[in-house]
Each structure stands twice: as C-alpha cells, then as structure tokens.
C-alpha cells in the first residue's frame, strides 16, 4: 500500500453512488438508516475534554508504525490524532463520501504537514480500501449512516491484515436517531465474517466501544441473511 503526502495528491475514486457489480445479491438492512451528515456530534474541544480519542486509541492499542484507516473521517478529528500516534513510520488513510469534507480535511492535513496521511473518497456501499493493508479500521459515530451495511462490511473485510481489527464507536439508540443497538451491530458484523472481541460502555465516548476481528472465512454475498432488528431489541 503506497501513500503520498496530501500536499501533492488527494485520491478521489469513483462516483458516490450505491450501484455495485453484484446487483441485489446483498440483503438490505432490516432497520432504518440515519440521514448522513445531519447530526453534528460535538466540538473537538469537548471531545478532547472527555479524553475521547486518547481513550479509543488506547483501547485499540494504536502503536507507532501501524497503518490505520479512518472511515467517515469528516473534518479529521481522529485522522490528525491517529497520524500523531502512529508517527512518521505509520500511515493513516482518511476516507469519506463527502467531497467537501475531504477538501476541508485535505487543507487541514496540508496545514499540519501530516505527510503520513492520505485521503480517499469512498462509496456508499464500498469503502474502497486496498486489500491486506490495515492494522486497524476506525468507524466512529458513522456506522448507522451506512445505507448498505452488509455489502459495505463484506467489501471492507479483505482490507485487514492478519491480526487487524475494526474499531466501532457508536451510541445505543435507534439507527434512525444516529445510533445502533450493540446487539444489532454485533449481529450485522457477524453475518459478513467478523467476530466481536471486545466491548465496553464508555461515558467518555458518549456511547460504547466495540472491536471486531475478521473470521477465517467470509460468506458469499448470496449466503448473507439480514439481522432482524425486532429480535435484537428483544434480546
């Protein structure tokens, strides 16, 4: 996996459409989806006052030299902090579907001279991550906005290196209210070949922390069965 300084290039791949080469093979989620970009979380100062990024990076065991993806990076709250944490020998790929957000992030990365950060534009159903490239993939307060979660996770699965893990931070509330029940989250991940390895309720994160690893095998798209949100709510 190759990165170039953001001052030189921003990688923008593909049009932001939900179209994919498998047609309707992937199931639709049996739940609502939050409207993307309609929920401003909180300011970076507020998040730092709670120690949010520090807590998440410690739980995720982020170390110098790691390669990390920040999915739904937005204005780059995690991107810039991950870049500092992994150091000059590490790499951070910031991904988002919002080109305006990517433009703002690109200017920020250039201003901070973060040469270990690259930016890539993803798609609604595909994060567009290179295979076998990441030690950690971050999905912070954004999973509930993914319109095609089974396809998205299925396409993300190969991006993890051996021992790599996916980090999710979200809130335990309905998916159309910018959150997701942790049982439903775990179910959706498990249906496409992931296993929950750590979970923690964390007030400093204004929600919960979940960590997943890839299982030995990824199911074929036609084998994936959607989770039933009603049964998840009933435990």
Check residue 21 and give its pLDDT: 44
Q: What is the pLDDT of residue 35?
A: 79
Residue 10 is predicted with a pLDDT of 40
- 200/212 Cα distance (integer angstroms): 12
Residue 193 makes CB contacts below 8 A (sequence gap 6+) with: 154, 157, 214, 215, 217, 218, 219
Q: Which pLDDT belongs to residue 230?
A: 58
Output the tens digit of pLDDT for each of the chain's 235 residues: 444 444 333 433 333 333 344 456 999 999 999 876 543 557 899 999 999 999 999 999 999 999 999 999 999 999 999 999 999 999 999 999 999 999 999 999 999 999 999 999 999 999 999 999 999 999 999 999 999 999 999 999 999 999 999 999 999 999 999 999 999 999 999 999 999 999 999 888 889 999 999 999 999 999 999 998 754 545 4
Say how far apart CA 18 and CA 123 lie, in whole Å. 7
pLDDT at 99: 94
- Check residue 52 and report its DSSP letter: H
pTM of the model: 0.87
8 A C-beta contact, residue 85 and residue 57: yes
Task: Report pLDDT for 229.
Answer: 73
pLDDT for position 24? 63
Residue 159 near residue 127 (C-beta atoms within 8 A): yes
Q: State the DSSP string of 66-112.
A: -EEEEET-TT-HHHHHHHHHH-TTSEEEEEES-HHHHHHHHHHHHHH
| 37 class by beta-carbon count within 10 Å (0-12 exposed, 13-18 middle, 19+ buried) | middle
């Amino acid at each position: 996996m190759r990165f170039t300084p953001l001052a030189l290039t921003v990688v923008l791949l593909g049009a932001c459409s939900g179209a994919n080469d498998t047609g309707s093979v992937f199931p639709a989620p049996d739940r609502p989806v939050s409207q993307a970009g309609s929920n401003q979380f909180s300011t970076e100062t507020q998040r730092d006052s709670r120690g949010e990024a520090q807590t998440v990076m410690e739980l995720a065991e982020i170390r110098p030299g790691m390669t990390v993806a920040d999915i739904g990076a937005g204005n780059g709250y995690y991107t810039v902090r991950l870049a500092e944490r992994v150091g000059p020998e590490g790499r951070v790929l910031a991904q988002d579907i919002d080109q305006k957000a990517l433009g703002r992030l690109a200017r920020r990365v250039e201003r901070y001279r973060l040469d270990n950060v690259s930016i890539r534009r993803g798609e609604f159903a595909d994060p567009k991550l290179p295979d076998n490239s990441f030690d950690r993939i971050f999905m912070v307060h954004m999973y509930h906005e993914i319109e095609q979660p089974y396809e998205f996770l299925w396409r993300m699965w190969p991006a993890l290196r051996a021992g790599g893990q996916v980090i999710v931070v979200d809130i335990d509330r309905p998916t159309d209210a910018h959150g997701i029940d942790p049982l439903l989250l775990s179910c959706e991940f498990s249906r496409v070949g992931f296993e929950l390895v750590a979970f923690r309720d964390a007030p400093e994160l204004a929600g919960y922390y979940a960590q997943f690893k890839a299982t030995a095998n990824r199911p074929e798209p036609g084998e994936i069965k959607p989770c039933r949100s009603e049964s998840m709510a009933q435990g």
